[in-house]
Amino acid sequence: MQILLIDDDLLVTCALKMILEADPDIRIAGTGGSGQEAIRLYDELLPDILLIDIRMKDMDGLEASRRILSRHPKAKILLLTTFSDDEYILKALKLGTKGYLLKQDYQNIVPALKAVMNGQTVFGTEITDRLPQLLPQEKSFDYEKYGITAKEMDIVRAVADGLSNREIAGQLFLSEGTVRNYISTILEKLCLRDRTQLAVFYYQHL
């Protein structure tokens, strides 16, 4: 697993590098200290995951993520911050990033990276539980009008609950491959990019 690590605090970068490289499955492909460097290095290295700080001087991690995702829609980006800020959470969700972690929860960073690599999002139950309050509610959505079946709705709810493909497969007695196919079909029907956007869409239309 190749990781690009971006943080404008050199001490944090060194500490994270030590934590990550202690795991044999992880290799640091590169490091940088700004949003501009994140964009340049991502284009150059095409890492498996970008692990990026939010608060940086020249360009914050959210803007860098937005620009990277506009060029690489399938980019896996995990945001790091010292603040559990509602505005940051909402922006991260709407961008389609794969997770939002607090730096002080350093013990969860490696498991989070592995979860993202396996197709999960890692906003955590604390943030997921807050979504109905954080997201502006819009009028109820007619999923049937867009050809969403009852089985697909089960998948939508499970994705919104933060379940992985494996967990959904176990819960609905399906194979992981079938779950992946269902999710791809649902995203296409609803004109959404990824499972994070699907979760946001679901909570917006409760």
Fold of the CATH domain 135-204: Arc Repressor Mutant, subunit A (1.10.10)
One pLDDT digit (tens) per residue for the chain, 206 residues: 999 999 998 898 999 999 999 999 999 999 999 999 999 999 999 999 999 999 888 889 999 999 999 999 889 999 988 766 777 777 887 788 888 888 777 788 898 899 888 877 787 556 666 666 766 666 678 898 999 999 999 999 998 888 888 899 999 999 999 999 999 999 999 998 888 888 888 887 86
pLDDT reported for residue 195: 84
Domain made up of 2-133: CATH architecture: 3-Layer(aba) Sandwich (3.40)
pLDDT reported for residue 113: 92
User: For the chain, what is the HEC assignment?
Assistant: CEEEEECCCHHHHHHHHHHHHCCCCCEEEEEECCHHHHHHHHHHHCCCEEEEECCCCCCCHHHHHHHHHHHCCCCCEEEEECCCCHHHHHHHHHHCCCEEEECCCHHHHHHHHHHHHCCCCECHHHHHHHHHHHCCCCCCCCHHHHCCCHHHHHHHHHHHCCCCHHHHHHHHCCCHHHHHHHHHHHHHHHCCCCHHHHHHHHHHCC
Q: Where are the domains of the chain?
A: 2-133, 135-204
pLDDT reported for residue 121: 79
